[in-house]
Chain A
Amino acid sequence: QVHLVQSGAEVKKPGASVKVSCKASGYTFTGYYMYWVRQAPGQGLEWMGWINPNSGGTNYAQKFQGRVTMTRDTSISATYMELNRLRSDDTAVYYCAKAGWTLVRGVGGWFDPWGQGTLVTVSS
């Protein structure tokens, strides 16, 4: 069974950085894109970008360009999302989600499953 397990909640001060991990199991880690999505309190879902776990290639939403870095460690089937220069409006639950089709088919696909989410609170 496919599982994505994320790291625990974080509290950060404005200007700091946070790194969230997402550990995958139950499938070929390097065979599927991994996406990151965030959800501010009471708000909808916001696409942040993806990483190709095979090549390490990434694509970020323009909004986060220059502040976000997605990486992976294939030895432990984990992906990471690091967000820098945190602001109060970065307070959100951050999710990783596996692409629904193999990367041989190209980027894209539905998201299934999702990690359980990691709450990042930015407060002075």
Chain B
Amino acid sequence: EIVLTQSPGTLSLSPGERATLSCRASQSVSSSYLAWYQQKPGQAPRLLINGASSRATGIPDRFSGSGSGTDFTLTISRLEPEDFAVYYCQQYGSSPETFGQGTKLEIK
């Protein structure tokens, strides 16, 4: 199974700053089948990005995804107060469709 490692574990930033979250896979993710999810306390995860770089419906354009192979990045260009949450990457190119351990984005 593909193991996804996210870094950093916690990211402390201020509103208006740029956030860069990393997701590294133990082997190449086929066809860039990588997704990013946002999860707020007490809520289910919400899809942000699929196909490594395609924003899901209704997701603001300050969220962008990039990468291929084994290295992927989620960038939030200018943080809004509602962006502070936990972010997970997931590969769905091979079964089981594994998740990273998450990056917590907290207010500095």
Binding site for B on A (CB under 8 A): 35, 37, 44-47, 59, 61, 95, 100, 107-117
Are the C-beta atoms of A113 and B47 separated by less than 8 Å? Answer: yes
Decide if B93 is an interface residue (CB 8 Å cutoff).
Answer: yes
Given contacts A110-B92, A116-B44, contact A100 B50 (CB under 8 A): yes
Q: A95-B44, A110-B35, A112-B47 are in contact. Are A44 and B97 (CB under 8 A)?
A: no
Interface size of B in residues (CB-CB distance below 8 Å): 22
- Supposing A61-B96, A108-B33, A110-B35 touch, asked if A44 and B44 sit within 8 A by C-beta, the answer is no
Listed in ascending order, the chain B residues whose CB lies under 8 Å from chain A are 33, 35, 37, 44-47, 50, 56, 88, 90, 92-102
Across the interface, do A111 and B90 meet the contact criterion of CB distance under 8 Å? yes
Q: Is there contact, CB below 8 Å, between B95 and A59?
A: yes
Closest to A109 in B: B92
Question: Can you list 22 pairs linking A and B with CB atoms under 8 Å apart?
Answer: A44-B99, A46-B99, A47-B96, A59-B95, A61-B96, A100-B35, A100-B47, A100-B50, A108-B92, A108-B93, A108-B94, A108-B95, A109-B92, A110-B47, A110-B90, A111-B47, A111-B90, A112-B50, A113-B46, A113-B47, A114-B45, A116-B44
Complex: A47 Cα to B1 Cα, angstroms: 12
Are A45 and B99 within 8 A (Cβ)? Answer: yes
Instruction: Return the chain A residue nearest B45 by Cβ.
Output: A114
